Amino acid sequence: MELTAREIAAHLNGEVEGNPDLKVSGFARIEQGTPGTLCFLANTKYEEWLYKTKASLVIVNKSFKLKQAVPYTIVWVDDAYRGIAAMLDLYAAANAVKKKGRERPSHVSWRAKVGKDCYIGAFAYISRGAKIGNNVKIFPHVYVGDGVTIGDNSILYSGAKIYAGCHVGKNCILHSSAIIGADGFGFAPDAEKNYKKIPQIGNVVLEDDVEVGANTCIDRATMNSTIIRQGVKLDNLIQLGHNVEIGRNTVIAACAAIAGSTKMGERCMVGGQAGAVGHLHIGNDVMLGAKTGVSNDLADGESRGGWPDMPVGLFRRVSVLLRKLPELFLQVSALEKELKKISENKN
């Protein structure tokens, strides 16, 4: 896809400084820019590359002040990060999967309903009672269980599995090997301490515009539904337990785990390897740092870090002190010896 600086500025409601007729045909990180590519600067950590990049065009925040002249064309925008996201979205739309039809061998039950303009890849399996919306892309080796519903324009990449009775909304993306609706981890010990499986008879509901990363597993509810609300974005290798609810527009990074029946609010941000025990209520706009372990309810707007979790400011101070523990130990030992000498001299 080839665009001029003028077209890019118009798309982003930005302003061109330099050659408005300059054409670019690719994207690159600013430190890897080459002639003909488009880059951006949103993080001032990379400011040095603004003066060294070989890119032809760079998207920059209007609030940024150049320290020296640059040889390339600039498009000034209100938010460079959103600007590059919009350009990547435009590129992705132009290069979107155009596949339609059904490849063989694949299996679509005669009792399933498939909408218009769908793609069903080789070795995909669509079970009885499944309802597939319009323009859905189902890549090879996908499994869609009995009675599953999938909304319009959703994409299921190779190896994704959706167990019986689950619901996937419109415009959802399930990456390879995502598992929707596996049994929740429910077992009850008997008198001999043998564990008896508790049947998991609920389902999973993904609302519209949800993205689920590769190898992420969302367990079905014991009863009722595990619910992932509209706009939630899940990274790879995440585990969400049975009857968990995740609020709208929450984002969760890789390797996080939320135990059963915990309810998380809207617009939360969860760092990698963070976790929460079961049956908690976590409010809206909560931020959990990487590896945070949550064991108590959290109110709206809290920022937490560490294990056990604590206010993020306290966690930072504790982290600094932890590095100083060996030095502090030696100082305390020396003081103890001095005090012992003073005590002995008095006696």
Chain center to CA of 107: 32
Q: Is 107 labeled as catalytic in the residue annotation?
A: no
Scanning the structure block, which residue is given the tokens 């609706």? 181
Angle at 136 between CA 133 and CA 140, to 5 degrees: 130
Strand partners, 310: 305
CA distance 247 to 257: 15
What letter represents residue 344's amino acid? E
What letter represents residue 312's amino acid? V
Burial of 303 (0-12, 13-18, 19+ CB in 10 A): middle
Q: Are 177 and 197 in contact (CB under 8 A)?
A: no
Identified catalytic residue from 11, 107, 242, 281: 242
CA distance 16 to 91: 20
Query: Is it true that the peptide bond before 311 is cis, omega within 30 degrees of 0?
Result: no
Please choose, from the candidates 35, 13, 16, 15, the residue with its C-alpha nearest in 3D space to the C-alpha of residue 25: 35
Catalytic residue IDs: 242
